[in-house]
């Protein structure tokens, strides 16, 4: 039986003493917890009670973040397909950890969880079997100055006789292509010689992000948003339809401009937090089912979102990024787990949860974000709940962050507030 009632979410979550973790100092008399703040901001939360194998659990439904919450850091503005907003991990980091705790993401993607945790003064572990993840996330902990970026770019020589070994003429003007290949060659040589430093890593990260997109700040002709890089044959169709040919776009000023944008609202404290986190940060490129490099009982909080059932083809989206970084996209595709069979996906997630249970501290947490797929016919939270219980976790409940529609939703065929990517569904566990 499902019972709906508008009550304050904190009345339930206080039973699990989540509020004691607020900034490591919530025991002071009269101090508001992170949840108090969110509830005051968002209003009352709908709680649905549901039964699973004789046990009762709760679903908390509200808009806990996004529209009225503080803007996330500009440092997060790195495009990557199927990534969540920084406000999602912040919600859990704020109430479930204190400064110095380790926060982990086994499917790190662009590094949203780790970067947000580092900004908040936490230590981080980021893992993703796709090496692009480290390329996009690690440089944002070791931030160079504007002068260092400009000086390094000025030192890189552009050879306009260079051409790519693959046909990318549908994306770039010949001069732009030569500049990209020159930068690629420079970065490869520095890395092979063991000379690539944090400035080179930053330039690599920004250039990787600027390869393709639909505004003048990108290196390419007009194409799909940068998190949805198209294949060459598709770009030829776009060019014909728009009657466009690639114009010359100088890459150095675009790297500088994007760098300034990424760093535009970082505070001195956040810069210090990032620098501190960089000293202890752990970056892994392992199968999330086998993370022996992480010690037992080590992580206070995991916030993550796994690959879903064939919803996103990462290899198609990232082929050009892989080329620029001299990565074998076919080899990466073989390793990335995007199972189309729910039973196989469940088996793999069970192994992932066994690892999460091993590395999580006693009283530590896992916030596992999943979504509705196949037009809402499959709610993956209904599969994750029994997995977590099976390996030994307690389930605090399922938090559903309902959001208003965005332009992006139309890409996925979203028609109403009950389908698709318009809501985050996070299953919360405690060890």
pLDDT at 31: 39
pLDDT at 64: 78
**Nearest residue to 108 via CA among 387, 270, 303:** 303
Decide if 52 contacts 385 (C-beta within 8 A). Answer: yes
Helix spans in 336-421 (H): 342-359, 381-391
**Nearest residue to 315 via CA among 411, 230, 188, 233:** 230
pLDDT at 394: 93
> At 65, phi and psi to the nearest 5?
-150, 175
CA dihedral 214, 207, 123, 38 (to 10 degrees): -20
pLDDT beneath 70, residues of the chain: 1-44, 66-70, 82, 226-228, 309-315, 337-339, 372-377, 403-422
Angle at 63 between CA 59 and CA 65, to 5 degrees: 115
Strands 3-7 and 45-52: antiparallel
Q: pTM to 2 decimals?
A: 0.86
pLDDT, tens only, 2-39: 334 444 554 555 554 444 333 333 333 333 444 444 44
pLDDT at 228: 66
**Token digits for 145?**
């100055």
pLDDT at 404: 54
pLDDT, tens only, 29-74: 333 444 444 444 445 677 788 888 888 888 888 877 765 556 789 9
Decide if 90 contacts 120 (C-beta within 8 A). Answer: yes
Cβ contacts of 431 within 8 Å, gap of 6 or more: 357, 360, 361, 362, 363, 364, 365, 366, 392, 393, 394
């Amino acid at each position: 039986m499902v019972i709906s009632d508008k009550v304050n979410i904190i009345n339930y979550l206080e039973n699990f003493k989540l509020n004691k973790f607020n900034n490591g100092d919530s025991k002071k008399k009269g101090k508001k917890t992170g949840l108090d703040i969110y509830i005051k901001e968002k209003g009352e939360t709908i709680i649905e009670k549901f039964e699973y194998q004789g046990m009762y659990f709760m679903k908390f439904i509200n808009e806990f973040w996004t529209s009225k919450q503080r803007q996330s850091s500009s440092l997060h503005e790195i495009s990557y397909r199927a990534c969540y907003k920084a406000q999602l991990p912040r919600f859990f980091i704020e109430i479930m950890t204190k400064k110095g705790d380790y926060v982990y993401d086994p499917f790190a993607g662009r590094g949203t969880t780790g970067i947000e945790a580092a900004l908040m003064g936490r230590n981080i572990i980021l893992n993703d079997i796709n090496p692009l993840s480290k390329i996009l996330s690690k440089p944002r902990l070791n931030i160079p100055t504007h002068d260092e970026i400009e000086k390094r770019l000025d030192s890189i020589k552009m050879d306009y006789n260079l051409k790519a070994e693959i046909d990318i003429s549908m994306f770039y003007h010949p001069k732009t292509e030569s500049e990209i290949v020159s930068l690629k060659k420079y970065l490869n040589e520095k890395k092979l010689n063991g000379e690539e430093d944090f400035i080179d890593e930053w330039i690599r990260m920004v250039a990787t992000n600027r390869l393709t997109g639909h505004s003048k700040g990108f290196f390419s002709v007009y194409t799909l948003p940068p998190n949805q890089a198209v294949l060459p044959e598709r770009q030829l169709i776009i060019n014909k339809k728009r009657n466009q040919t690639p114009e010359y776009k100088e890459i150095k000023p675009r790297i500088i401009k994007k760098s300034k944008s990424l760093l535009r609202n970082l505070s001195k404290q956040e810069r210090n937090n990032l620098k501190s986190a960089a000293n202890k940060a752990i970056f892994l490129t392992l199968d999330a089912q086998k993370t022996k490099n992480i010690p037992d009982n080590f992580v206070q909080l995991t916030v993550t979102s796994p690959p879903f059932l064939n919803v996103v083809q990462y290899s198609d989206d990232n082929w050009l990024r892989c080329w620029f970084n001299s990565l074998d996209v076919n080899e990466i595709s073989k390793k990335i787990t995007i199972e189309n069979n729910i039973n196989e996906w469940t088996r793999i997630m069970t192994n992932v949860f066994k690892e999460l249970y091993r590395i999580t501290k006693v009283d530590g947490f896992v916030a596992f974000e999943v979504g509705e797929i196949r037009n809402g016919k499959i709610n993956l939270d209904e599969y994750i709940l029994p997995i977590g219980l099976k390996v030994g976790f307690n389930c605090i409940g399922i938090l559903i962050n309902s959001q208003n529609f965005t332009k992006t939703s139309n890409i996925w065929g979203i028609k109403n507030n009950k389908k698709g990517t318009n809501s985050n569904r996070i299953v919360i566990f405690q060890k």
